[in-house]
A and B are shown apart, each in its own frame.
Chain A
Amino acid sequence: MKSSSALFITGLTLAASGCRQDMHNQPKYKPLAESQFFADHRSARPQIAGTVARGHLRIDAARYTGKMGDADITAFPFPITRADIERGQQRFNIYCSPCHGRVGDGNGQVVRRGFRQPPSYHIQRLKDAPVGHFFDVITNGYGSMPSYASRVPPDDRWRVIAYVRALQVSQGSTLNDVPADQRDHIEAQTISANGAQQPTNAPPANPAMPPQPGPGERR
Chain B
Amino acid sequence: MAQIFHRGTNTISRVSIIGGVLLIGCIITAAYTIDRGSFNSDVAVVKEQPVPFSHKHHVSDDGIDCRYCHTSVETSHFAGLPATEVCMSCHSQIWANANILEPVRASWRTGESLAWTRVHDLPEFVYFNHSIHVNKGIGCASCHGRVDQMPLMFKVNTLYMNWCLDCHRQPEKYVRPKEQVFNMAYQPPANQLEFGKKLVAEYHIQKLTDCYTCHR
Contact = CB atoms under 8 A, between A and B. Distances in A.
B63 A109 contact: yes
Interface in B61-82: 61-65, 67-68, 71, 78, 80-81
A110 B59 CA distance: 11
A146 interface: yes
A13 B30 CA distance: 9
A53 interface: no
A109 B83 contact: no
A98 B83 CA distance: 18
A32 B83 CA distance: 10
Contacts of B63: 97-98, 109
Interface string A30-63: 1110100000111000000000000000000000
Interface residues of A, number: 36
Interface of B: 16, 20, 23-24, 27, 30-31, 34-35, 40, 61-65, 67-68, 71, 78, 80-81, 83, 85-86, 88-90, 92-94, 111-113, 115, 123-125
B206 to A, nearest CB: 26
A114 B93 contact: yes
Given A13-B27, A41-B113, A94-B65, A26 B92 contact: no
Interface stretch (A2-10, A122-130, A131-139, A169-177): A2-10
A115 B91 CA distance: 9
Given A113-B94, A115-B90, A151-B71, 17 more contacts: A2-B20, A6-B27, A13-B31, A14-B31, A14-B34, A17-B31, A17-B35, A17-B40, A24-B123, A31-B80, A40-B113, A109-B62, A109-B63, A110-B90, A110-B94, A115-B93, A150-B85
A114 B81 CA distance: 25
15 contacts: A13-B27, A13-B30, A14-B31, A17-B34, A30-B78, A32-B81, A40-B112, A94-B65, A95-B68, A97-B63, A109-B62, A110-B64, A110-B94, A114-B93, A146-B89
Contacts, number: 83
Contacts of A109: 61-64
A28 interface: yes
A6 B19 CA distance: 11
Contacts of B67: 94-95
B42 to A, nearest CB: 12
A98 B64 contact: yes
Contacts of A13: 27, 30-31
Nearest to A13: B31
